[in-house]
């Protein structure tokens, strides 16, 4: 009868270990699916941010070219050479301001792109399942020795 109890304890421990390992495998599969979905969502978010950044850059370039053309036309109409002296400095200043604004937008874009990255350290539950299995096996061994 004692041998039957020991055998039942071993079978119970084996079933418990199998259940823990199987649960860990299912959890790992679920985690991988969730990570894949999160990566797809992040890729879509990044594409949207890049498209918005490109549109903003094109708009800024168009506005700059219109502003410079208008400024040059006004300066030429008032008799000032549009490429020399203070007129050249004015158009260079407008170009520098636009470049500074573009650099600020680029820095903001890099920060937004880095914000949503998924950590590689997300737990998948495998190690904890092994610990639980070891604990179950330890309880079974102790009950056999007692």
- Let me know: does 49 contact 108? Beta carbons within 8 Å: no
- Let me know: does 20 contact 136? Beta carbons within 8 Å: yes
CA–CA distance, 40 with 46 (Å, rounded to integer): 10
Percent of the chain's residues with pLDDT above 70: 75
Q: What is the pLDDT of residues 80-135, one digit of tens each?
A: 777 777 778 888 888 898 888 889 888 888 888 777 655 555 555 555 655 566 66
**Positive or negative torsion for Cα 45, 48, 54, 55:** negative
Q: What is the pLDDT of residues 20-41, one digit of tens each?
A: 888 888 888 888 888 888 888 8
The pTM is what? 0.54
Structural domain boundaries in the chain:
2-145
Angle at 13 between CA 8 and CA 17, to 5 degrees: 150
């Amino acid at each position: 009868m004692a041998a039957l109890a020991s055998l039942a304890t071993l079978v119970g421990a084996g079933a418990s270990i199998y259940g823990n390992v199987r649960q860990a495998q299912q959890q790992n599969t679920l985690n991988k699916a969730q990570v894949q979905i999160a990566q797809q969502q992040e890729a879509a978010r990044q594409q949207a941010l890049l498209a918005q950044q490109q549109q903003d850059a094109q708009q800024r370039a168009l506005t700059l070219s219109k502003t410079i053309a208008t400024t040059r036309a006004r300066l030429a109409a008032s008799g000032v050479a549009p490429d020399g002296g203070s007129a050249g400095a004015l158009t260079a200043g407008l170009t520098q301001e636009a470049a500074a604004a573009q650099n600020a937008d680029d820095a903001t874009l890099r920060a937004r792109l880095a914000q949503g990255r998924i950590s590689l350290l997300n737990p998948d539950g495998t190690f904890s399942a092994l610990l639980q299995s070891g604990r179950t096996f330890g309880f079974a061994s102790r009950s056999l020795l007692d």
